Amino acid sequence: MKPNVVGYDIHLVLNARSRLLKCYDVRGHLRWSVMARGEGVAGPGWTMPYGDTPPGLYRCGECRPTLPEDPASVHESYGPWFIYLLDEEPRARGGHTGIGIHGGRDTTPGGRPSHPGALAMTHGCIRVDNEDLRGRVVPAVQFTQRHGGVAWLTVVWE
């Protein structure tokens, strides 16, 4: 299902196979793309808990910053932000509830990931590099929401 993008809306599209998250404006123009990872720690498939990010249409909800008083494990797991995803296509999601877009762990010692595989797998969420999350994804979603728009997300596995 493709969203009806109007006004200040944006459309994020994650092609989970190519590991690219792209942002399109209301006219359908590509604004930016970043590396992202949708593979779950439980292995291929989205019908099991901790599997891959389920395909479909979502609406981006609240952007929650990681707070200084949050435990170190939260900072390590989620990075600086967590964007809640609201499922727009109700269907059985297996154990997938409370998924979102976040940063956090990568497998590159001491630096920014050089390829999407360097981003650690999640429990069904979409993981983005902390810098990209802070510098592109969160500002785009917040700008859209501040102006009364909707940040849509389509996840595909092709």
Q: What are the boundaries of each domain within the chain?
A: 10-156
pLDDT at residue 85 in the model: 94
Task: List, for residues 48-63, the tens digit of each pLDDT value.
Answer: 778 889 898 999 999 9
The CATH number fitting domain 10-156, selected from 2.40.440.10, 1.20.140.10, 1.10.238.10, 3.40.50.970: 2.40.440.10
Helix (H, G, I), strand (E, B) or coil at 127: strand
Task: List, for residues 100-142, the tens digit of each pLDDT value.
Answer: 999 987 666 555 666 656 788 888 899 999 999 999 999 999 9
153: which 2 tokens?
């997300």
Task: List, for residues 133-152, the tens digit of each pLDDT value.
Answer: 999 999 999 999 999 999 99
Please work out, in degrees rounded to the nearest 5, the angle formed at the alpha carbon of residue 102 by the alpha carbons of 125 and 33.
95
Q: For residue 154, what are the CA distances in angstroms to 2, 35, 126?
A: 8, 15, 12
Higher pLDDT, 21 or 93: 21
Task: List, for residues 22-43, the tens digit of each pLDDT value.
Answer: 999 999 999 999 999 999 888 7
139: which 2 tokens?
């500002």
